[in-house]
Amino acid sequence: MKSKQSDKTGGGENKQLTSFLSLGRNDNVNSTNRGNVVLLKLNNIKCNLPNSKGGYTFPKYKITGSSDFLFVLLFGIKNSGKTVAGLNYLMHEEHLMENQNKVYFFSPTLDQKLINFQKDHPDHFKIIDEFNVKTFQEVVHEIKEIIEKWKDDKKLLELFELFLKDKDKLDPECLQILEDNNYLQDFDFEHFNYDYPPIHSIFVDDSLGSPMISSRGKDAQIFNNFAIRHRHFYTNLFIMSQYPKSINKVLRSNSNNILIWQMKDRTIYEAIFPEFSSLFKGNVERFIEIMDMIEQRNDHSFLFIYYDKEQFLRLNFDQQILLNG
């Protein structure tokens, strides 16, 4: 049975903001001309970008309207609502806890919310109370094994389909493989996703003391290498912190989601602004104006910034922010 996924984005919330650069086109000369800038199309040059998704068609996320994997930074003071927002992200994206998909939540400070969430999703949500090289590499190893197992099972299913269509066309070696696997009599067809490999999600919460996310040493390099390539492991990544400036720049510059709550240290706003300044046309005052509004609300609201192929600004998950001028 194929996993049921929804492509609905809801209420037109995921429309791309007005393009930051609009260039006119003159089709007669196959060039683009605006002021002193002329772009000439070279028809004999083609650019094929590598596909990190391995040729699979993954479901769209309801919140972003995109199928791109998530790298989310959640910045806010203690008790601002970071954990709740992270769990709400999972609840909106039901497919992240279906079939073989699984969430790994690193948190040295267990609270009742996490414990209850794990009880509600025992097969898809795992809490790890230490975040270090050993525990992290164990999770990555488990993810890799699950993905390889899925690929092996997919090949076995394809072989079984050929057997059902015309077993006489299979060579003895293929038949032996099916026989060794009992002709899939014990296979869980109902919960196997035929369309794409399992999607995993890793959350790192309250781990500022770990050198893996705040330093430039060997431990940080291990985590950075995974973070940069998380899409290749079909894995979403969420990092929660009270101190954004302490998150190393490699992680900040590779994220595509930022959720920001009010901060006690207002210099933080200017420090992290360069990572997403294009959405504000380089105007930090616009960004600070929104954060001022959030501080005045004083109700656990946050600024939601998404900047991948699609880009948008929202107040919380459901209110789009449009910048005038």
| CATH number of 255's domain | 3.40.50.300
Residue 234 lies in a domain: yes
- Residue type, position 217, single letter: G
Q: What is the secondary structure of 33-78 as a DSSP string?
A: EETTEEEE--TT-------TTTT--PPPPTTTSS-SPPEEEEE--T
Residues of the chain with pLDDT under 50: 1-29, 45-52
CA distances from 107 to 38, 155, 210 (A): 53, 37, 12
Angle at 157 between CA 152 and CA 160, to 5 degrees: 130
CB 17 within 8 A of CB 313: yes
pLDDT for the residue numbered 240:
94
C-alpha 127/C-alpha 198 separation (Å) is 19
Q: In angstroms, rounded to a whole number, what is the distance separating the alpha carbons of residues 184 and 27?
A: 58
Within a domain: 211:
yes
**pLDDT for residue 44:** 52
* Residue 298 forms part of a structural domain: yes
The pLDDT, as a whole number, for residue 170 is 87
Tell me if 51 is assigned to some domain. no
> What is the reported pLDDT for 7?
44
Judge whether 52 lies within some domain.
no
Number of domains composing the chain: 1
Each residue of 52-71: pLDDT tens digit? Answer: 456 899 999 999 999 999 99
What per-residue confidence (pLDDT) applies to 18?
30
Residue 41, pLDDT score: 56
Give residue 9's pLDDT: 38
Range of the domain at 253: 71-127+201-320
**CA-based end-to-end distance of the chain:** 50
* 205 C-beta neighbours (distance < 10 Å), count: 22
Residue 23 lies in a domain: no
Report if residue 28 sits inside a domain: no
Residue 108 domain-assigned? yes
